[in-house]
């Protein structure tokens, strides 16, 4: 970490560079004429926002450029599970040691699922979307994929993710992982595609109900028949910070940078937005929602603080 006055000046210089870059890129922006205010500049390398009801474009910055998207991948993980025929959300899944081993090997975000615990599909979806549990992602892929081994089933599930992308018309999206931890560098999407995917996912009441929660407390049965309490906090700091925020998912890793898929509703108008590789993702999301809603909340927004020990993503 850089410290001292020089470090402060350096950070300021970097901030100015990003701002200037965002202003320069405004030629790539498209705004709906309904917005009275000037379209804001954002630090994201790619951004997109749409009207949830109509699907119309509200904001666009390099919206069709392919980029890695880190854990926002898990939106598709949830979408595939929720579209499973005859889905039983209360079906119980036994946590395997392989899920914990995977997280440890990757140094990935985790819901800290304990081996032998029995958790429901609904609980796994909470563990996937709030603390961004890669163990939960693997559990869902292992459960809803086909094959005779964990490896075969997770590969099968990833294939289902790509099939669903084609079904949804996401022509610039490809998955090689169930959680965003790509090993082949072929896990990518575009801001437009990711917004379209999220708009589709938000039509599921289960998904929409989960991603708007700041926190959840869940109870699972242990291998010995006891009860374990899981407390998961949502890594999306917009929730509880920006009035009207309703989701959706954070994502951060080295290839992708900080990413955010956000959603919000005010006065009957709902939007979904995407920011890929954005060092100011929460503030920029607030600026974009202000733009959509004709509001001015971003400047005074105080971000919710995550408790010590909570996952960051």
> Which of the following is catalytic: 45, 61, 74, 249?
74
- CA–CA dist 28, 76 (Å, integer): 27
Q: Are 198 and 205 in contact (CB under 8 A)?
A: no
Residuewise pLDDT in 10s, the chain (313 residues)? 444 433 333 333 333 333 333 333 333 444 444 444 799 999 999 999 999 999 999 999 999 999 999 999 999 999 999 999 999 999 999 999 999 999 999 999 999 999 999 999 999 999 999 999 999 999 999 999 999 999 999 999 999 999 999 999 999 999 999 999 998 999 999 999 999 999 999 999 999 999 999 999 999 999 999 999 999 999 999 999 999 999 999 999 999 999 999 999 999 999 999 999 999 999 999 999 999 999 999 999 999 999 999 999 9
Is 71 a known active-site residue?
yes
Q: Are 253 and 244 in contact (CB under 8 A)?
A: no
CA contacts within 13 A on the Cβ side of 173: 30
Is 159 a known active-site residue?
no
> Which of the following is catalytic: 60, 109, 132, 200?
132
Is 149 a known active-site residue?
no
> Which of the following is catalytic: 71, 109, 182, 200?
71
């Amino acid at each position: 970490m850089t410290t001292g006055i020089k470090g402060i000046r350096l950070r300021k210089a970097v901030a100015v560079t990003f701002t200037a870059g965002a202003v320069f890129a405004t030629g790539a922006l498209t705004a709906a004429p309904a917005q009275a205010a000037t379209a804001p500049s954002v630090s994201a390398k790619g951004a997109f926002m749409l009207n949830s009801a109509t699907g119309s474009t509200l904001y666009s910055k390099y919206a069709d450029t392919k980029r890695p998207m880190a854990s926002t991948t898990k939106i598709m993980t949830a979408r595939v599970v929720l579209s499973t025929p005859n889905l039983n959300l209360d079906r119980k899944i036994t946590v395997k040691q392989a899920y914990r081993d995977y997280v440890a090997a990757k140094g990935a975000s985790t819901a800290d699922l304990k081996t032998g615990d029995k958790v429901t599909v609904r609980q796994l979806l909470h563990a996937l979307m709030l603390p961004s549990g890669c163990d939960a992602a693997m559990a869902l892929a292992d459960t809803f994929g086909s094959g005779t081994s964990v490896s075969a089933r997770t590969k099968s599930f990833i294939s289902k993710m790509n099939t669903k992308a084609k079904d949804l018309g996401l022509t610039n999206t490809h998955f090689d992982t169930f959680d965003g931890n790509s090993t082949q560098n072929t896990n990518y999407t575009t801001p437009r595609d990711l917004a379209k995917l999220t708009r589709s996912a938000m039509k599921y009441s289960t998904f929409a109900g989960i991603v708007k929660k700041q926190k959840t407390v869940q109870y699972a049965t242990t291998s010995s028949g006891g009860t374990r309490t899981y407390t998961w906090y949502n890594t999306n700091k917009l929730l509880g910070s920006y009035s009207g925020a309703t989701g959706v998912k954070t994502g951060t890793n080295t290839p992708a940078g900080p990413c955010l898929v956000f959603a919000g509703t005010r006065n009957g108008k709902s939007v979904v937005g995407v920011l890929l590789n954005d060092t100011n993702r929460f503030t920029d999301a607030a600026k974009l929602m202000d733009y959509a809603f004709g509001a001015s909340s971003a400047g005074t927004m105080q971000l919710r603080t995550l408790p010590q020990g909570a996952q960051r993503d």
